[in-house]
Amino acid sequence: MKWLLLVLILIAPIFAPYDPMTTHLSEIVKPPSVAHPMGTDHLGRDVWSRWLYGGQHTLIMTALATLIGVGFGTLGGLVTRYEAFAALWEGLMALPGLLLSLVLLTLLGASSLTIAIAVGIAQIAPTAIYTRNIIKQIKIMAFVEGTIAIGASEWWVMTRTILPNAWPSLRVYAVNTFGYCLLNSAALAFLGFTGQPGLPDWGVMMAEGNLILREAIWVSLAPGIAITVLLWLVYPKER
């Protein structure tokens, strides 16, 4: 069900009744109504349409960041038998993820793509260390030692014995990483690092709604609730 919700959000813009960027000066800060189910913002734009498009944009950025972090992080965890890589991951862990993302954005420039790249890169080191620890735990198990004892190659042991048994833990970790990437991407968009003022994005919508919070709470409330509900649904139950 939770993955169905993500799919629905991604395809939702086809149901948007208005262009998310079109302004209507006669409809400024209108409360929710039949014509505008989530009201309008300070430029008269339909919040419902911006919420739909914003959800798609935010989730695409989050998915890309998660793919970068988990993909390269897992590969990094596989090569931590080399001390140089292990030291690199440990050193990067000393930097908070959001701070590292801000540094990377300063170097790469502000845009939606660079937000996804920066947030994803910030998750590589934690994923690499987690992968390394999982692999270490599995390597000392009897069935792995038995596979090595019968002469299986290191590649065979890693791909056919260790990784299949590490997959359940890595999958749960990937879901957790998705949640971190969602929060960090929205936070950076909130701070204005998309490079496109007015872009339909949940983080941007919260920033715009913050300017008119007393007059139109619904502008920032809609994306805020959406992010909270998504995190609650996507995170594993044990969390």
- Taking the model in full, what pTM does it have? 0.85
Domains of the chain in sequence order: 47-234 (1.10.3720.10)
Alpha-carbon gap, residue 86 to 175, rounded angstroms: 24
CB 56 within 8 A of CB 10: yes
212 vs 236, residue with greater confidence? 212
Is residue 13 pLDDT above 60, yes or no?
A: yes
Indicate whether 116 pLDDT > 90.
yes
What are the residues facing 40 on neighbouring strands? 46
Burial 184-195 (b: 16+ CB within 10 A, else e): bbbbbbbbebbe
Asked if pLDDT for residue 239 goes beyond 50, the answer is: no
